Amino acid sequence: MVKEEQEESPNRPDNTAFTQQRLPAWQPILSASIVIPMFVLIGAAFIGVGVALFIASRDIQLQELDYTGDDSAHPCYKCRSSTEKCTCSMTFSIPNLFKGPVFFYYGLTNYFQNQRKYGASKDDNQLYGDLDYFKDPSSSCDPYTRDSRNIPIVPCGALANSMFNDTFSLSHVVNGTQKIVPLNGKGIAWWTDYNVKFRNPSVTPLINAFNGTKKPTNWPKPIYELDTTDVYNNGFINQDFLVWMRRAALPDFRKLYRRITHDDYVNGLPAGNYTLTIEYNYPVYSFNGRKKVVLSNVSWMGGKNDFLGIAYIVVGSMCVVMSIVMLIVYAKFKFAEDD
């Protein structure tokens, strides 16, 4: 009878686990015997990862060459304030085999590529090959949208305008003669940048697309002449251009310039003396920036990076130390209670 009444009344709340807040639930009961070992385990795991990272990082070979030339003794000193085309060369030696594949980077410091206005100063539609934006670039490129005669600039914007334009060549000194080390410039940019994000307008020859436009003011040559030897490395899809256009995260950064993968250097750079020849164009001294060339190989974790390994070890050790403190506190209370 009671049941009938229950069914009759629509006001009676439903007797379900949800409405009665009796949902089956897992209530982990933590205790010192779980917490402390857990801390030890996590700490140990972090230390393990840290050590692995540290070892991997230590095994990576790195050759860094600063060619800013602010020291009068430096071979590039002469180029520092030269307005003409200037070339300087530096020699260095590699004591052991520099295992391949060797990555050739250029690095800049104190260079704020992550500045918001600088980073936004480009026209994505233009770079996507949309001819409408060749005639009328987006205002986000200001003040690098048009030149003094009001002709649209392609590629517009500060980011493209400030493209890094030092060039390098590396030669191996073999028996007193300079042997050019072949540098591979293919595949250094992101796949998506090369294939999707940047596109040349579908006009052949490419130069026609740029009628009525101007090259960026700082550039020595227009974009369609970046690499006249290779159609697939020219215009907006030039690898060096793509690498530059991918903004760095922080003011000190490296960008991949070339890879050494050919000829005798497939397995790396053999021990010996090398000469780096720099065509010095890019000014950095005004803002206390530095320029360098970095040769490095990579491991499973990427390039050399001591910070991550050390950070892992530090955090792991903190966990272990905490677990020890907890153990002491726990023991203290335990004994106090026993008393």
Q: How far apart are CA 10 and CA 154, in angstroms?
A: 73
Is the separation of the CB atoms in 32 and 331 below 8 Å? no
CB atoms under 10 Å from CB of 127, counted, come to 25
Closer residue to other proteins in complex, CB, 169/305? 305
Closer residue to other proteins in complex, CB, 159/209? 159
Closer residue to other proteins in complex, CB, 107/235? 107
Piece of 29-37, 72-80, 171-179, 233-241 that binds other proteins (CB under 8 A): 29-37
CB atoms under 10 Å from CB of 306, counted, come to 12
Tell whether residue 41 is a contact of other proteins (CB under 8 A).
no
Q: How far is the CB of 107 from other proteins (least distance, A)?
A: 7
Q: How far is the CB of 104 from other proteins (least distance, A)?
A: 11
Closer residue to other proteins in complex, CB, 61/171? 61
Phi first, then psi: give them for residue 254, nearest 5 degrees. Answer: -120, 155
Instruction: Report the site for other proteins in 266-305 (rule: CB under 8 A).
Output: 283, 286-288, 300-303, 305
Tell whether residue 23 is a contact of other proteins (CB under 8 A).
yes
Instruction: Report the site for other proteins in 87-106 (rule: CB under 8 A).
Output: 105
Render 158-225 in DSSP notation, one character per residue.
HHHHT----EEEEEEEETTEEEEEP-B-TT-S-HHIIIII----S-SSGGGGGTT-B--TT-SS-GGG
* Structure-token pair, residue 278: 């720099």
Beginning with the edge strand found earlier in the chain, give each strand of the sheet holding 253-260 in spatial order. 62-66, 291-296, 102-108, 253-260
Tell whether residue 11 is a contact of other proteins (CB under 8 A).
yes
Tell whether residue 62 is a contact of other proteins (CB under 8 A).
no
Instruction: Report the site for other proteins in 220-249 (rule: CB under 8 A).
Output: 246-249
